[in-house]
């Protein structure tokens, strides 16, 4: 059996430090559980992603979050009081408002970008980046044994998987961990849209209408966001262009330059003649937004004679950041129950 350093042994190990994992980690730590989070990326927040382009920053994942349920609204107000979220706007100008109830919802953004928000949520947690979990197994004495790509081994009493569902299932398959047939079938139905996003750094004027965001004006483009107006990138004019679901499918395998050319076309109505493109970058999200959810907020299994396993994420119960947070809260409850003697 591999030797495991004391600081790699814990009550609960959470794979993924996106909103689901961070929320579960905070809730578990608040209840006195020892928690380690592992994420393969170099930053925290998962699909709340921000990248550095030239001297500025741009959100290239979720552009904002909205809060509908009372528990999540309370959390968002608290984060506003802490200064890690701020109200961006409640609706759009220029005919870009999508009619319906979402129109009245506040769009919350994060000063410094969405990843800064993830970093803030993790500030009292043992959350480790650059740790891609490659193998999970169990020990004879009833613990989970988790290994990352650097061959570091961790042990935990409860394992919580929060990657997009197909990636969690892949980890379970590799470990030959079988879930009950009905659950496995239900989980395989959870699928996600793909998404292609471009970030464009300009010198000069690109005038995205108030409040620096255009949403749903045409089917091909889901959002155009001005990161300077949003308060994410005071140093440089960085514009994020997010393709809609159909165009993302078309561009997902398209060569980088051609995909960026197509996304950049969306800026033509807003760009002044003398605006100069300094740099452009692309981000392709293989799992962006769930098309189909599992009806539960999170699931707990005790596969075979193995220790407890919890599956959670925005594929459970409801999508977007709010769905991920509610799933994380439920996952923490399930993990706490599993830790009780």
Ligand X SMILES: Cc1cc2nc3c(=O)[nH]c(=O)nc-3n(C[C@H](O)[C@H](O)[C@H](O)COP(=O)(O)OP(=O)(O)OC[C@H]3O[C@@H](n4cnc5c(N)ncnc54)[C@H](O)[C@@H]3O)c2cc1C
Residues in contact with ligand X by the rule CB under 6 A: 15-21, 38-41, 46-48, 61-65, 132-133, 162-164, 167, 195, 197, 242, 285, 288-289, 313-314, 319-321, 324
Closest to 268 (Cα-Cα) out of 207, 195, 312, 330: 207
Query: Among residues 5, 4, 6, 16, which one has the least CA distance to residue 127?
Result: 16
Residue whose CB is less far from ligand X, 232 or 289: 289
Provide the minimum distance between the beta carbon of 19 and ligand X in the complex, in angstroms, as a whole number: 4
Q: Is the peptide bond before 211 cis (omega within 30 degrees of 0)?
A: yes
Q: By C-beta, is 174 or 257 nearer to ligand X?
A: 174
Least distance (Å) from ligand X to the CB of residue 35? 15
Pairing relationship of beta strands 213-218 and 276-290 according to DSSP bridges: unpaired
Residue 165 in 3-state DSSP? helix
3-state secondary structure of 262: helix
Residue closer to ligand X (CB basis): 34 or 283: 283
Cβ contact 313:191 at 8 Å: no
Cβ-proximal residues to 55 (8 Å cutoff; 6+ apart), any chain = 235, 236
Supply the minimum distance, in Å, between the C-beta of residue 222 and ligand X: 8
What is the closest distance, in whole angstroms, from the C-beta atom of residue 106 to ligand X in the complex? 12
Under DSSP, the state recorded for 268 is G
CB of 294 to ligand X, least distance (A): 12
Q: Report the Cα 147 to chain-centroid distance in Å.
A: 22
- Nearer to ligand X (CB atom), residue 138 or residue 240: 240
Minimal distance, residue 239 CB to ligand X, in Å: 14
Instruction: Pick the closer one to ligand X by CB: 136 or 237.
Output: 136
CA 27/CA 67 separation, integer angstroms: 19
Least Å from the CB of residue 242 to ligand X: 5
Closest distance between ligand X and the C-beta of residue 59, in Å?
9
Cβ closest to ligand X, residue 188 vs residue 205: 188
Q: How far apart are alpha carbons 188 and 184 in whole angstroms?
A: 6
Of the pair 275, 320, the CB lying nearest ligand X is at 320
CA dihedral 224, 227, 229, 230 (to 10 degrees): 100
Count how many Cα atoms sit within 13 Å of the Cα of residue 12 in the half-sphere of its side chain.
Answer: 35
Phi, psi of 144 (to 5 degrees): -80, 140
Beta bridge partners of 213: 225
- CB closer to ligand X, 169 vs 273: 169
């Amino acid at each position: 059996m591999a030797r495991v350093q004391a600081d790699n042994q814990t009550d609960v190990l959470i794979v993924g430090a996106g909103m689901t994992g961070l929320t579960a980690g905070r809730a578990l730590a608040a209840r006195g559980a020892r928690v380690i989070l592992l994420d393969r990326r170099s930053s925290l927040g998962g699909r709340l992603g921000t990248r550095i382009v030239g001297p500025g920053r741009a959100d290239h994942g979720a552009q904002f979050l909205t809060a509908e349920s009372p528990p999540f609204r309370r959390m968002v107000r608290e984060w506003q009081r802490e200064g890690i979220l701020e109200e961006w706007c409640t609706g759009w100008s220029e005919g870009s408002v999508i009619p319906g109830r979402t129109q009245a919802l506040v769009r919350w953004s994060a000063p410094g970008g969405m990843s800064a928000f993830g970093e803030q949520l993790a500030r009292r947690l043992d959350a480790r980046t650059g740790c891609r979990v490659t193998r999970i197994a169990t020990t004879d004495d009833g613990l989970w044994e988790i290994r990352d790509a650097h061959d570091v081994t961790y042990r935990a009493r409860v394992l919580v998987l929060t990657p997009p569902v197909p990636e969690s299932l892949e980890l379970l398959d590799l470990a030959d961990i079988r879930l009950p047939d009905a659950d496995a079938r239900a989980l395989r139905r959870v699928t996600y849209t793909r998404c292609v996003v471009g970030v464009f750094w300009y010198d000069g004027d690109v005038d995205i209408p108030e409040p620096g965001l255009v949403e749903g004006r045409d089917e091909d483009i889901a959002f155009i966001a001005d990161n300077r107006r949003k308060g994410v990138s005071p140093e440089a004019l960085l514009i994020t262009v997010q393709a809609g679901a159909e165009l993302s499918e078309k561009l997902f395998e398209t060569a980088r330059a051609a995909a960026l050319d197509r996304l950049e076309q969306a800026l033509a109505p807003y760009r002044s003649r003398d605006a100069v493109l300094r740099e452009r970058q692309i981000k392709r999200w293989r799992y962006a937004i769930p098309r189909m959810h599992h009806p539960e907020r999170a699931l707990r299994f005790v596969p075979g004679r193995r220790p407890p396993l919890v599956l959670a994420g925005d594929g459970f119960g409801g999508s977007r950041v709010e769905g991920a947070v509610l799933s994380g809260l439920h996952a923490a409850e399930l993990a706490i129950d599993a830790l009780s003697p």
